[in-house]
A and B are shown apart, each in its own frame.
Chain A
Amino acid sequence: MTMKVGSRQVDGVTIVDCSGRITLGEGSVILRDTVRDLLSKGNKKIVLNLADVNYIDSSGIGELVSAFTTTKNQGGELKLLNLTKKVNDLLQITKLYTVFDVKDDEASAVKSFK
Chain B
Amino acid sequence: MAMTEQRVSYTLDSSLETIDSAEEKATRIATELGFGDDEVMQISMAVREGAVNAVLHGNAYAADKKVTLAFERTGNELVITIRDQGKGMDLSKIPNPLAPENLLKTSGRGIFLMRSFMDIVEIRPSSTGTELKLIKHVHGPTAGGKEASQ
Contact = CB atoms under 8 A, between A and B. Distances in A.
Contact of A65 (B41, B48, B56, B104): B104
Interface in B32-68: 41, 45, 48-49, 52, 56
Contact of A62 (B16, B19, B109, B112): B109
Given A58-B113, A93-B116, A94-B112, A65 B105 contact: yes
B3 to A, nearest CB: 27
B97 interface: yes
Interface bracket on A: 20 to 34
A57 B52 contact: yes
Number of chain B interface residues as a range: 20 to 34
A59 B45 CA distance: 12
A95 interface: yes
Interface string B88-115: 0000000001100001111101101100
B104 A24 contact: no
Interface string A37-74: 00000000000000000000111011101101100000
Contacts of A10: none
A59 B61 CA distance: 16
B49 A57 contact: yes
A99 B116 CA distance: 20
Given A94-B97, A99-B103, A61 B109 contact: yes
Given A58-B49, A59-B52, A24 B19 contact: yes
Nearest to B55: A24
9 contacts: A25-B19, A57-B45, A57-B49, A58-B110, A62-B109, A86-B41, A94-B98, A94-B113, A95-B103
Given A62-B105, A62-B109, 7 more contacts: A24-B16, A25-B16, A57-B49, A59-B52, A65-B104, A94-B112, A99-B104
Interface of A: 23-25, 57-59, 61-63, 65-66, 68-69, 86, 90, 93-96, 98-99
Interface of B: 16, 19, 41, 45, 48-49, 52, 56, 97-98, 103-107, 109-110, 112-113, 116
